[in-house]
Amino acid sequence: MTDEMVSWRDRSFPDGGVLLAEVGAQGWRLLDGDFHFPVAALRETAVERNLALMRDYCARHDVLIAPHAKTTMSPALVGRQLAVGAWGITVANVQQARIFISAGMRRILIANPVVGVADIRYLTAAREADPGLEVLLLVDSVDTVDLLADRARARAGDRDPLPVMIELGYAGGRGGVRSIDEVMRVAQAVREAEGIELVGIEGFEGLVPGADLEERRHHAAEFLRWSANVLHDLLDRGFLPAQGSLVSFGGSSYFDLVVAQFRERWSGGRIEVILRSGCYVTHDHGLYARTSPFAGHEPAPLPALEVWAEVLSCPEPGRAVLGAGRRDVSTDADLPLPLAVRRDGRTRPVEGLWITAVNDQHALVSVPEHVALGVGDLVCLGVSHPCTTFDKWRLIPVVTDTYEVTDAVRTYF
């Protein structure tokens, strides 16, 4: 993929055809006239730090990680996660799996049930073409088991059974089995089906409800305790392998609770715990700055993703308009946070600027009297929930701490 050309189709980048592999050799500087604005950027030192932080955490706690690739949808970044020890990757659907299989990834957990005819046809063909390809699927009902088994059996030939995990859920949540009785019915259906085999359990605790972080952590812990009881029963009844059963939980907010619940109760190889956190690779200035188990500890993660925008107008005292909006930066978790201002080649940290509203292409900024902000200044915006900034950019420059461009990463949303 490094032989792709960078062109006018890649917004914000300089014009003129340059090979993606040669971006770092151009001598471009992000903030000094080479790039159009707005522009998203990844700070290399922060990415490196965050990769090492999660690698060391997993090694220290004897857990694996299959980072959720939907965060970045970037084979280049996911490849770096694998290079520092990730067990595999997670995707949300077969469309995402196709991208990473095409990029050479060989162990993929699809964190939703797969039931579509074209999806199952693709996966069975991909496994037949590449015996080394491992794909894990989820089931959360007898109907799902019957449908998957029927469609997989029709195409599987002599291929090994598809490995599946039972997805667990909680009342009011997304997919997932809600009761132990139903779990056992699903497990029995898998046992009786041809072409699939049960290898573990999976769930997602990251969206549990609660009035504040403390209450949400409490509810997440309750769900994980219940899930651990389900696992115990499945093992006792012989539905899962006695050694090496797979257990996968862990978004980017409560993965420490997953470690505490499953590593305190099981050891010695009886289960393999697979976290699925994805946002750790860039961290952020909002949602995960508040909720990540790494927050407040040393070494701390560093926000790696930011968006720079120009001041287009100062239409009235105390008000400025930036040339970046919801088409350019995340707004679903929090509005972006102004971090710094650049004028005449000099960047200074800034406090007191607040985004009050966003349109498709604009952000409205409240400017206190003590902050000097003028037309043409550049403003650095911190991101909350990096997933929904990544999906707005098909090519993102990688920069040093002084904003020399050293590389670029492609996304495939």
Residues of the chain with pLDDT under 50: none
Give 248-264 pLDDT, tens digit per residue.
Answer: 999 999 999 999 999 87
Measured over the CA atoms of residue 81, residue 307, residue 338 and residue 359, the dihedral's sign is: negative
The one-letter amino acid at 335: L
Q: What are the structural domains, with CATH classification, of the chain?
A: 5-44+300-410 (2.40.37.20), 106-277 (3.20.20.10)
Among 293, 321, 294, smallest CA distance to 309 is for 321
| Gyration radius from the chain CA atoms | 23
Q: Is 108 left (phi over 0), alpha (psi -120 to 50) or beta?
A: beta
pTM, two decimal places: 0.95
The C-alpha atoms of residue 395 and residue 408 are separated, in whole angstroms, by 6
The one-letter amino acid at 47: V
The C-alpha atoms of residue 310 and residue 341 are separated, in whole angstroms, by 10
Q: What is the pLDDT of residue 267?
A: 67
The C-alpha atoms of residue 103 and residue 74 are separated, in whole angstroms, by 10
The C-alpha atoms of residue 409 and residue 305 are separated, in whole angstroms, by 12
The C-alpha atoms of residue 136 and residue 347 are separated, in whole angstroms, by 47
Q: What is the pLDDT of residue 63?
A: 96
Instruction: Tell me the backbone φ, ψ of residue 146, rounded to 5 degrees.
Output: -60, -45
Q: Which long-range contacts (CB under 8 A, 24 or more apart) does 174-182 make?
A: 174/204, 174/207, 175/112, 175/113, 175/138, 175/140, 176/140, 176/203, 176/204, 177/140, 177/141, 180/229, 180/230, 180/233, 182/141
The C-alpha atoms of residue 216 and residue 106 are separated, in whole angstroms, by 34
At what angle are helices 255-265 and 213-236 packed, to 10 degrees?
A: 30
